[in-house]
Amino acid sequence: MKNLLLIFTLGLFTSITAFGQDAFKDLKNADKAISKYINDNTKADELTKGIQLLESAFASDEVKALAKSWITKGKMLNSLAGNEMKNKTLDVAGTYVITAPNAAADAYDAYEMAAKLSEKKNEKKEIQIGLTSLENNLNNFAIVAYQAKDYATAFTNFTKSIKAGEMLKSMGKASRLDDPEIMKDQNFFAAVSAYYSENFDGARPFLTKLADAGTDEPFVYEALYTITADADTEKALGFLAKGREIAPDDTGLLFAEINHYLKAGELNILIGKLETALEKEPDNVSIYNTIGSVYDQLQQQEEDAAKSAEYREKAKGYYESALEKDPANFDAQYSIGALYYNKAASYVDRLNDLSADLTPAGMKKYDEVKGEMDGLFETALPYFQQAETLNGKDRNTIIALKEIYARLNNLEKSNEYKAKFEAMQAGQ
C-alpha cells in the first residue's frame, strides 16, 4: 500500500511538473508568435495563435507566481501596442483598424503585477524601462479610442496611463506626466471619457480634482452639476455657480442652469436666465419657445386677470418670434393654437351658468359670451391645422381639432378627427 501511494504521489508530481513546463513553453512560443506578427502584419494567424498561447500560459499558477513571466507578457504586449500605433500613424488613407485594442491596457496590468512580485533589481529595471515606453502607447491608444467615440476604452487607457506615471514616480523615475499641463489634460480627458461613457463613478474623482484645482474648463462644472443634482441639489448648484463665475459666457452652463429652474418650476428666476441665453443665441428657436412656455405657465398660475392677459400676450409674442425664425416649427404652431384654445375653454363654466338664465337679457349675454368663445376657437383652428401638417401623429393636435370642430358645430369634421384619434389609439 505504501509503494502504491508513493507511485501515485510521484505520478502527480511528474504531471504537475510537466504542466508547468508546458505553460512556460506556451509563454515562450506566445512571444515568438506575436513577434512574427509584429515583423509581418499580414500574419494575422500568428497574432491569434500568440494571444491563445499567452492565455494558456497564464492559466498556470507557476507562471503567474513569477515576476519574470509578467515582465515577459508586458514586453510582448507593449511591443504589440507600439506596432499597432505605428501602423495607425503610417496609414495615410485612415482605414487601418487596430487589431489588438486592449494591448496597451493589458501590458500595464502585466507590469503592475510584475512590480508587486518583483524582488530583483534587474527585474525592477525592466519594469521601469517598459513603463516609460508604455506611457506613450497608453496615451495614444486613449486618443485613438476617444476620436472614435469609444469612450469606455479611452477612459481605461487614460486612467492606466496616469497609473503608469504614478508607478514611475514611486520608483523615482521620470514620467511624461511630470509636466503639470500634460497631467491636467490627462485628468481632463479621463473625466470626459468616463462621463460620455456614463461611468459617472469613474468620472467623479477626476472632475472633483480638476474643480478643486480651479480649472477654467466649463465642462467640469456642468458635468459635476449633472451627476450630483439628483443626490444633492444644493451641492450641485454650488458647482453650477462656481462654473458660471469662472466662465460666465459659457452657454452649456447657462442651459444647465435654465434646465434646473425649469425642473424646479422657479419660473420668475428662469425668465432672466432665458433672456440672457437669447442674447447669446438670438437665432435659437428653442429659446423663444421655452420663454413662451414659461409665460404661458405664468398666465395660468396668475389670479389677476389683467396680469394673466399680459403674460399670455408675452407668450404669444415669443411663439410668434419662433415662427418668424422657423415657420415650420411644430412647437410654436401648436403652442399658439393652445393659447387660444385654453382661453376659449375657460368660457365653458360661464356659459353653463348663463344657460340657466332664460330671460332676454340672459340669453343675449349667453350669445355674446358664446360668440367670444367661438371666435377664440376659430382663431386657434388654423394653428392646429398647420401643426397637423407638420406632425400628423401628434395626438394632442388631433384631439384639439376634434374638440374645436365639435364646438363650432361641424360634426362631420369632428367625427373625422375622432376616427383618426381612435385609429391612433388602436396603433394604426
Tell me the per-residue pLDDT of 29-45, one tens digit each, with 9 for 90 and over.
988 988 998 898 888 88
Closest CA to 258 of 402, 284, 352: 284
Per-residue pLDDT at 247: 84
Per-residue pLDDT at 21: 66
Closest CA to 415 of 397, 427, 403: 403
Closest CA to 235 of 252, 269, 211: 211
DSSP state, 177? Answer: G
Q: Domain locations in the chain?
A: 24-178, 340-428
Q: Show the cell assigned to 402.
A: 376634434
Which pLDDT band, with edges at 50, 70 and 90, does 257 fall under? confident
Instruction: Identify which has the larger pLDDT, 183 or 18.
Output: 183
Which pLDDT band, with edges at 50, 70 and 90, does 221 fall under? very high
Per-residue pLDDT reduced to its tens digit, 270-285: 788 888 888 888 999 9
Closest CA to 38 of 91, 69, 102, 83: 83
Q: Percent of the chain having pLDDT more than 70?
A: 95
Answer left, alpha or beta for residue 249, where phi above 0 means left and psi between -120 and 50 means alpha.
alpha
Per-residue pLDDT at 160: 97
Task: Output the furthest CA–CA distance in the chain (Å, rounded).
Answer: 125
Name, in order, each residue with C-beta under 8 angstroms of 253's C-beta and a sequence gap of 6 or more.
Answer: 218, 221, 222, 240, 243, 244, 247
When mean pLDDT is compared across 14-23, 73-82, 401-410, the lowest value belongs to 14-23
Please state the rounded mean pLDDT for residues 142-168. Answer: 95
Q: Show the cell assigned to 131.
A: 513603463
Per-residue pLDDT at 9: 33
Whether residue 2 has pLDDT greater than 50: no
When mean pLDDT is compared across 52-56, 265-269, 384-388, the lowest value belongs to 265-269
Per-residue pLDDT at 20: 52
Sign, Cα dihedral of 58, 64, 69, 72:
positive
Which pLDDT band, with edges at 50, 70 and 90, does 428 fall under? low
